[in-house]
A = this chain, B = another copy of it.
């Protein structure tokens, strides 16, 4: 790469002043919504699930859905799960996010500040458990214990959207779209690392929406000037004229990295 003098800005490292990763956000929205949809699918009998319908029907109780994490992934999973008529509980450490969900769903969703005991109490009764605990740039914490999974009803479903970052359950291991599921402790685990690939048409449009403004900046200004004017791009710089400039990348490649000094 050094020989090629490559200057590379990586999607997943472009970062705004407020810490948000704007090119990952739309993928989190897609993944969150899909998590509820895929969970519903694996609850049915043809997928060896418990055979319960998300919203039940009048006279029959709806499914219990528990979403761990109220970030972008989690709040999008909540939106779709609520839409199907399920009874939804969402947990997070951040009470501000829960207030937001309470406001826009007007009491339709139960919100709980998470703790190991509260998470355990909520999860053991779940037909569908969605893991959406993501810490930007770090491994997901293993907040869901094996014992919790083991206490869930047989045939229930766990979807781990944090699997890209190692998963947020002790029982999680990555699966693929072609072989998406495994059973552990009697619970179906759906741990596909790249969920948005299920809906490429929607995902591509969403990604393009987020990417296009940055592409236009680079096309109009040239790479250097674009990075000068927009620090989001500069933060996303991984290699500059062949040198690695992103410490985490250097570290993972066991190489050294250089401070960026943009050419004028």
Contact = CB atoms under 8 A, between A and B. Distances in A.
Interface of A: 25-26, 29-30, 33-34, 37, 40-41, 43-46, 50-62, 76, 79-80, 82-85, 87, 89, 93, 95, 98-99, 101-104, 106-108, 110-113, 115, 177-178, 180, 197-203, 205-206, 209-210, 212-213
B80 A55 contact: yes
Given A84-B37, A112-B61, A177-B46, A103 B104 contact: yes
A76 B102 CA distance: 11
Given A52-B202, A202-B52, A57 B33 contact: yes
B57 A110 contact: no
Contacts of A113: 59-60, 209, 212
B33 A102 contact: no
Contacts of A201: 50-52
Given A59-B111, A61-B112, A209-B60, A198 B51 contact: yes
B213 A59 contact: no
A212 B115 contact: yes
21 contacts: A25-B95, A26-B95, A33-B53, A45-B198, A50-B201, A51-B200, A51-B203, A53-B203, A55-B80, A56-B110, A57-B206, A58-B102, A59-B113, A60-B113, A60-B209, A61-B89, A80-B84, A83-B83, A83-B107, A108-B108, A115-B212
A223 to B, nearest CB: 22
A55 B106 CA distance: 10
Contact of A58 (B82, B101, B198): B101
Contact of A95 (B58, B177, B202): B58
A146 to B, nearest CB: 24
A177 B51 CA distance: 13
A199 B33 contact: no
A103 B104 CA distance: 7
A98 B54 contact: no
A174 to B, nearest CB: 16
Nearest to A210: B95
A171 B46 CA distance: 24
A264 to B, nearest CB: 29
A98 B104 CA distance: 15
Contacts of A37: 37, 40-41, 53-54, 84
Contact of A82 (B43, B83, B111): B83
Contact of A84 (B56, B59, B83, B89): B83
Contact of A83 (B59, B80, B103): B80
